[in-house]
Structure formats: structure tokens, C-alpha cells
Amino acid sequence: ARQLPDATTNMVCGYCSTGCGLNVHLQEGTAVALTPTTDYPVNLGMACPKGWEALTVLDSPDRATVPMLRNASGKLEPVTWDTAMQTFVERLQGIQKQHGAESVAFLSTGQIPTEEMALLGALTKFGMGIVHGDGNTRQCMATAVVAYKQAFGFDAPPYTYADFEESDVIVLIGSNICIAHPIMWERVMRNPHDPEIIVVDPRMTETAMNASLHLPLAPKSDQTLLYGIARILIENNWVDHDYIDQHTNDFQEFREYVAQFSLERVARESGLSEQQIQRFAELIHDGKRVSFWWTMGVNQSHQGVRTAQAIINLALMTGNIGRPGTGANSITGQANAMGSRLFSNTTNLLGGHDFANPEHREKIAGILGINSEVIPTQNSWAYDEIIEGILRGKIKGLWVICTNPAHSWINQTQCRDILDRLDFLVVQDMYGNTETVQMADLVLPAAGWGEKEGTQINSERRIGLVKKLRPAPGQALADFSIFKLVAEYWGCGDMFAQWESPEAVFQLLKECSRGTPCDFSGIDDYEMIDKAGGIQWPYPEKRADNAGERRLFADGEFFHADGKAKFLFEDPRPLTEKPTHRYPFILLTGRGTVAQWHTQTRTRQSAVLRKLYPENPFVEINPADARALNIRPGEWTIVESQRGRLRAKAMVTHAIKAGQLFIPMHYEPTNRLTDPVFDPYSRQPSYKSCAVNISRE
Ligand code: SF4
């Protein structure tokens, strides 16, 4: 018999940071189908293929359904939860006893609800004595976090999605939102002001194809270009002096600094023509409402923070911030990257607080009813420092939650070698077949999106709800329940007595946020979020227009003590790996399709999504290079860097410039090639450029 729904509810999608609302159709309380929500303020009735297929991937035979422990002959075999938990505690406590509390670390995610992240962060740091833990948000958003904190005084993306429809000039830097954030792109397409769309990207991406001005600059010359644009704006007096005087610091120093970025120099270093650069500046000047947007092309860079701040500088100096259709706007990656940024208890103490600040420690300890002495007085090591810590023998035990470093971490071969050195690796995941699960000593089966509840925070700071609408398969448990179980077996369950449910944790987090820039203490409960269609922070008190447009800095007040934003700048850094005779091409990586998500852990489980994307890795190569190397379309090639090699089918296309190649991030071997260098301030890996060679197989 056909399964006809008898009720409908809605919740937010669990893939990307857009945070679309999805109507989930239920039969006797269980989800059987979904459609995009038509009146949710984010997506206005649209969803991308990943959202449409969000239920399908829950039914996969690859789901992890029972705890698995590696036996004496090296095989993973099913065990009970009791055995799993006893082993977890015995092995990790044993390591801590022998090597110190710091010898166990965790790596988490931007894919689980905020309440789960907060419980994990509190459990590990306050209950288990773990000092170092980080999330995969280090791979996507760390740069934007640091850029905003230094410039604005808090990690505060200023915009609301309506800005896409209200700008008359939209500048997209290192951002292929047409496929990475397709619903945001739909909002650009709805813009009634016939906006100029400027795309700064080495590749002719799908977004660039729709631009009024595409600037295919040399890889990683963006910081130089942006300083050059600042100089042109200043020289022509195309700046907003009143705004600069009233709301910013250090403009005079910036003005003197950028004087060295002459048009000739910027053209030479970026590979753009002087006319293109001049036109870019003119369009910014001509715009009444100019919005600047960036994503991974900027963040995943060895100079990401200063590049992001070069974007912020342009918005500040032209007064394009705090008004409709403006802003220096970082688009987040994962569904709950912002929840992680504020509440994972890794880089910040819960709620954007500072581990090093005794007052902050006292405040959080008071809210949680714990002794402030258990709160570490320093931040965790960053992801790369944790990996390095394993290499140096400082970290011996690792707990990986809902992320896949054996696929996604930069310089993958070295990463796998390093993970192999651990005494004990625990992996908690929805699926039993990820590259990292295959390396685990203990696998904990987790429930997925739709099988548990909590909140997520999207790119425009909107807190949305996810709901439990299906049972998890087999013995899989919500991550929240697994963390509670660990607390009990570890012997610190009492510390988390008031963390009894995700909604109880939400109430605690509200208190943690009170008085901070991300204060959302005016939200009553989950029901209020549900009814409002999500609520943007800040929300310190109840108001009538929850779902309306709400952007930051409308009053020109920033979060530094003097209320002013800062101009920040420094010399661009040279490419860390330049092309050589042996490796003459620059490899770019990035999102390759709207249909796949990151390491494909979930999306490869859908036949529909698989069909929308080539199964075999492909490499984009310019026709001139293909001709010179006698590579024909569709032929297998070998692409290699100093660190590894892979097979990929040639996609011969003018989308990529001569001397450059492009391989999507989703394929398992892509990160065999990438170069492990990091932004010095954010420690974000620089995935976007390394030197490679290509030849016919
Ligand atoms: Fe989900 Fe993002 Fe697609 Fe919206 S755009 S349906 S949030 S994956």
C-alpha cells in the first residue's frame, strides 16, 4: 500500500549553512517524505538536491548499527554498548594515567546540533580532563572567525539573506555560491535591482559564468588585488570619510600602507588587466548598496585572515555595512558551523567566552553549577596541532565525532600514517564505512539528522530546529545520548545531571549567551523557534518581528571596547609552493557539484545524488595544456604532487586557465596531493593551491 502522510511538520536541513526549512511529511509520527517549506524565511520554498534527498540517505545499508571493537586479529566485531563504553573508559583513562590528561584529544564537527556540541565540549574539558579538542570547522570557518574577532571585536557575520536581494552591487570573492550555496544564489537571481555581480575567482566557475565582471586572478593574489582596489578608492576620494571617522580606527595607517599597491603592481601580480582592476573599483564606487561575500577561496588560504580583513576594509571604508544590501559577509560552510564556533568549547569557552579570562570562567561555572577550577585556562590546540601532537607522541588517544579526517585532512597520506600511530582511536559516526571508521579501534554508531533533536545556527545567525522524526537504526544512539553514556561510565555523570535533554541544554546555553553579542536569552524554548521560523541572534529580549530582516551594526557600533571597527593589514605572503619544472601546474580544489557534500559520507548513499555527479575523479585541464600533453577528453590521467598521486579522468575545459588544474574536494584521493600549510592566525589549512604535474596514464 502507498504510504500516504497523515501529518506534516518542519525543520531545518542538516547539510549546509544555508539552513533551509524542510516540510517533513509523517505517517503515524514517522517521516516518510519531505518538501521544501514555502514560508520559511530562508529558502522561500526551494531546496537543493541534497535537501530533497535528506531522508533517503538515512536508509542506507552502510549505516553503523551496533558498536564495533577491533579484535586481536585486527577485525572490527560487534559488541554491546556496555562493552563499548567499558573499553572506551578503560583505554582512554589508561592512556591519561600513563601519559597525562593531555594525551587524549577529540576532533568534532559542524554537523551536529549545538546542544550536542556543547555537551561534548563540556564533558571532555570539564568532566574528562581533556585539554585539546577541535572541530572540522577549522577546515572551513576558522579564518572568518579570527578576521571578524580582530576587526569587529566578536565573531559576528553582519548580514541577513535579504541582503542578497537588496544590493545593487554584489561582490563574490572565492565563492562559487551557484553550486555551494544554491539557495542563496537563487536569492541573488531574485534581486529586483539588476545588480552588478563581480566574481573574483581564478576559475570560470558556474557563478563566474553569470557575472557582469569576472576577475580570473592568479591563485592567492586576492589580498594584493583588494589592497590595490583600496588604493584606487582612496586616490579618487571614493571613500566615506564620515563613516570612517565615526566608526573605525587605523584608517590613516591603512591609507599609507596601500599606497605601494599601484595599478601596475597589482596587474602584474594578479595577472589581471589594469582595465579590469579599474572597473572593479568603479563598480564599487557606483554602487549605492554594495555587499561583499566570501567563502572557502578566501578562508582556505595561507593568508586567509588578512585577505578576509582586506574585504572587511573595503566595506568599512565605503560605508557599506549595517545598511540593507551591504556588508562584509562570510558565508559559512556546514549546517551548524556557527553553533560550533560559539558553543563547541574548543576555541572559545561556551558562548564566545574566553578560557583565559577568570571572570568568564566564573560566569560559566556559575551557570553550569561546577567548580571553575575544572575549566581550562587556555584554548585547545588547533586541529593541525593535534595531528602534529600525535606525530610527536604527545597525543595517544583520539575520539573522532562525525567527521572524516582520513579523507578530508590536508596531505591525507601523512594524516593516515599519523592516525595509525595512535594507541586508541574511537570513531563515532552514522556510517560504518568512512575512511576514518575503517581505521578505528572502536566504532560508536550514531543517529543522524532527523533521528534526534536540537538547534543549528545558519550563516545569517538564524537559530533553527531539527527534530526526531524517525527512529535510528539498530542500536545507534543520538550523539547526545552517547555523550551522556560516556559521562556515566567515565564517572562524571553527576556533573551533567542538569544536561538531561537537548532542550534543557538549550536553556543553559541561553544563560551562557546572556550579555554577549550572541545573546539569545530572549528565546523561550524550542516551540518559540518553531513557530517563528527560526530566530536570528542577537535576541536578548522577546520582540514581535522574530522572522524579519535583522543585520548587525546598523548603529555603527562594533564590539571592541571603544565601539569602533579596525582596519587590519599586512604584507601578502608568497605562494608556499610555486610551480617548478617537475610540478609545473597549480592545483585548485573546491566544491564540484551541488549534489555532493564534503567527503560524500552521506550523499553517496543516494542513487539520485550519485547520478548527478561523475563517480570517477575528474581533473579540469585547459585545452591548450591538454593539447600540449596529448591528453584527450575523458582519458585517464595521473596527477601528482610531492606528496602523492591519483588517477583522474581529463575534463578538457576553458573553465580553468592554462597552467592550472582543478579537482573537486569530494573524491577520496584529492587530499593526497594537497600541501599542509596553514594561515598563521586561524590555523586553517590552505587547500586551494599546490604544485602538481599531470600526464596521460
Ligand atoms: Fe540543505 Fe543547503 Fe541544500 Fe538548503 S541549500 S537544501 S540547507 S543542503
**Band of residue 597 on the pLDDT scale cut at 50, 70, 90:** confident
- Please tell me if the CB atom of residue 111 comes closer than 6 angstroms to any atom of ligand 1: no
Q: Is 151 touching ligand 1 by the criterion CB < 6 Å?
A: no
Sheet containing 535-536: order of strands:
451-457, 462-468, 535-536
Decide if pLDDT at 696 tops 90.
yes
The atom number, within ligand 1, closest to the CA of 16 reads 2
Residue 12 vs residues 34, 56, 162, 335, 409: alpha-carbon distances, Å: 11, 16, 18, 9, 28
Model confidence at 676: pLDDT above 70 = yes
User: To the nearest 10°, the Cα dihedral for 54, 56, 57, 63?
Assistant: 140
Residue 116 vs residues 340, 397, 454: alpha-carbon distances, Å: 10, 21, 8
Q: What is the pLDDT of residues 463-472, one digit of tens each?
A: 999 999 999 9
pLDDT above 80 (res 546): no
Q: Give yes or no for residue 370 having a pLDDT over 70.
A: yes
Closest residue (by CA) to atom 6 of ligand 1?
51
pLDDT at 494: 96
The set of cell numbers assigned to 270 is 594578479
Per-residue pLDDT tens for 297-334?
999 999 999 999 999 999 999 999 999 999 999 998 89
Distance 180 CA to ligand 1 centre (A): 9
Pairing between strand 535-536 and 132-135?
Answer: unpaired
Reported as a single tens digit per residue, the pLDDT across 164-189 is 999 999 999 999 999 999 999 999 99
Distance of CA 548 to the CA centre of its chain: 25
| Distances, alpha carbon 240 to alpha carbons 246, 247, 322, in Å | 10, 11, 14
Domain ranges in the chain are 7-59, 68-140+337-536, 148-331, 585-696
Evaluate: CB of 20 within 6 angstroms of ligand 1: yes
Evaluate if residue 4 carries a pLDDT over 90: no
Indicate whether residue 48 lines ligand 1 (CB < 6 A): yes
- Residue 598: the pLDDT is 87
pLDDT attached to residue 333: 85
Bridge partners, residue 171, by sequence:
198, 292
pLDDT at residue 262 greater than cutoff 70? yes
Q: Which of 2-6, 227-231, 416-420 has the lowest mean pLDDT?
A: 2-6
Tell me how crowded residue 304 is: count the other CB atoms within 10 A of its CB: 32
Please give the model's pTM, rounded to 2 decimal places: 0.96
Residue recorded with cell 568599512: 316
Ligand 1 pocket member 566 (CB < 6 A): no
- Report the separation in Å between the CA atom of 662 and the middle of ligand 1, taken as the mean of its atom positions: 24
Assign 104 a pLDDT band (cuts: 50, 70, 90): very high
Nearest partner of 601 among 425, 446, 407, judged by Cα: 407
Choose one of 42, 57, 183, 466 to mutate for the ligand 1 pocket test, by most ligand atoms within 8 angstroms of C-beta.
Answer: 183
Tens digit of pLDDT for each residue in 332-341? 889 998 888 8
The tally of CA atoms less than 13 A away on the side-chain side of residue 564 is: 14
Q: How far apart are CA 228 and CA 320, in angstroms?
A: 18
Ligand 1 centroid–CA 72 distance in Å is: 43
**Does the pLDDT at position 663 exceed 80?**
yes
φ/ψ of 397, rounded to 5, equals -130, 140
Task: Tell me the Cα Rg of the chain.
Answer: 24
Among 3.40.50.300, 2.40.40.20, 3.20.20.70, 2.40.110.10, name the CATH number for the domain at 585-696. 2.40.40.20
Which amino acid is it at 40?
Y
Distance 18 CA to ligand 1 centre (A): 6
Max CA separation in the chain (angstroms): 74
Question: What average pLDDT does the segment 475-482 reach?
Answer: 98
Helical residues (DSSP H) of 348-398, grouped into ranges = 358-368, 383-391
Nearest CA to ligand 1 atom 4: 20
**Residue environment code for 481-508, b if the CB has 16+ CB neighbours within 10 A, otherwise e:** bbbbbbbebbebbebbeebeebeebbbb
DSSP-assigned letter for residue 124: I
Superfamily name and number for 7-59: ADC-like domains (2.20.25.90)
The yes/no answer on whether domain 68-140+337-536 falls in CATH 3.40.50.740 is yes
Predicted confidence at residue 193, as pLDDT, reads 96
Name the burial class of residue 98, with classes exposed (0-12), middle (13-18) and buried (19+) by CB atoms within 10 angstroms of its CB: exposed
Least confident of 20-24, 31-35, 411-415, 539-543: 539-543
Whether residue 12 has its Cβ less than 6 Å from ligand 1? no
pLDDT number for residue 1 = 54
Residue 231 pLDDT grade (very low, low, confident, very high; cuts 50, 70, 90): very high
Whose C-alpha lies nearest to ligand 1, atom 3? 48
Establish whether residue 16 lines the binding site of ligand 1, counting it when its CB lies within 6 angstroms of any ligand atom: yes
Question: Residue 235: its pLDDT value, please?
Answer: 98
Check if the interface score ipTM surpasses 0.90.
yes
pLDDT at residue 547, as a whole number: 59
591 in contact with ligand 1, CB cutoff 6 A: no
Residues in a beta bridge with 22: 11, 36
What percent of the chain shows pLDDT beyond 90? 92
Residue 542: pLDDT over 90: no
- 148-331 — its CATH code? 3.40.228.10
Does residue 177 have its Cβ closer than 6 Å to ligand 1?
A: no
